Amino acid sequence: MAAASGTVRLQRCVVSPAGRHSASLIFLHGSGDSGKGLRRWIKEVLNHDFAFQHIKVIYPTAPRRPYTPMKGGLSNVWFDRFKISNDCPEHLESIDVMCEVLTDLIDDEVKSGIKKNRILIGGFSMGGCMAMHLAYRNHQDVAGVFALSSFLNKSSVVYQGVQKSDGVLPELFQCHGTADELVLHAWAEETNSALKSLGVSTKFHSFPGLHHELSKGLEDERLAQSLESRNWRPGLPLLGGAVGHTSSLPGTGPRTPAVLQILVRHAAATSCWSKTTEQTKTDGERWRGHP
């Protein structure tokens, strides 16, 4: 399915910041979902929107296209796959087309006054994979990348793009459940290790018992405690509250599921400074039938 930048404008679901807009977060859904579906899913988990004081959250929707793992059936997917495995070629034609389309979204944010180094890109499942292609091959000057329950193929061209870089690369933040039977935890670990070996600063959080989802419903106390002990850069205008305390963050609370709690913290902190100057089941709801 061919398309070109300028011929496709993605539908976008947007959560505006409560205050002055000075950073943006682009959150890409998993296959078969939509921007609205992802926003609704997160809202159900958090009991409120994933929202910030200064960060605009953008949930675009992938165009419908034939998807090979569904025997050519139409689905909202960012790109096609020959099969769901980390040991097969990537469908580069469809990936490259979508990189162009998503670049238009990034360009719109830049035109609105948001610098590239204050744009965070990530996603869930296929969305996280798409984010890594987009950032590490085309936009290495963004603030950071996050990938939840995601992976790259062993021979991914993303690795080649990173190898060719001679500058500071955006940090990669990953979360993955050890009980994920759709996207294996080992695939995500391999992705993280490969990028780290090529010079990418990475953070990887494993969640025991978590399947292919954003939350297992019960907060992981060990991870919650690690949030409190993290050495956040002092003096940064995080979200208007005390740096280093989860309770100060709009969008989080003592019962916020650990995956999203960590992501909220990461998004808020990453968007506060420039990475170029700082060394550093197909129903679109609870279960995704394909990654």
Catalytic residues: 125, 180, 212
Per DSSP, what are the bridge partners of residue 203? 173
Q: CA 70, CA 258: separation in Å to the nearest integer?
A: 32
* CA-wise closest residue to 145 among 191, 182, 92: 191
Q: What secondary structure letter does DSSP report for 19?
A: S
3-state secondary structure at position 74: strand
Neighbouring residues of 92: CB distance < 8 A, sequence distance ≥ 6: 157
Q: Are 149 and 175 in contact (CB under 8 A)?
A: yes
Nearest to 126, CA basis, from 233, 241, 31: 31
Asked whether the beta carbons of 105 and 58 are under 8 A apart, the reply is: yes
DSSP string over 108-164: HHHHTT--GGGEEEEEETHHHHHHHHIIIII-TTSSEEEEES----TT-HHHHHHHT
Q: Is 73 helix (H, G, I), strand (E, B) or coil?
A: strand
- DSSP one-letter code for 5: B
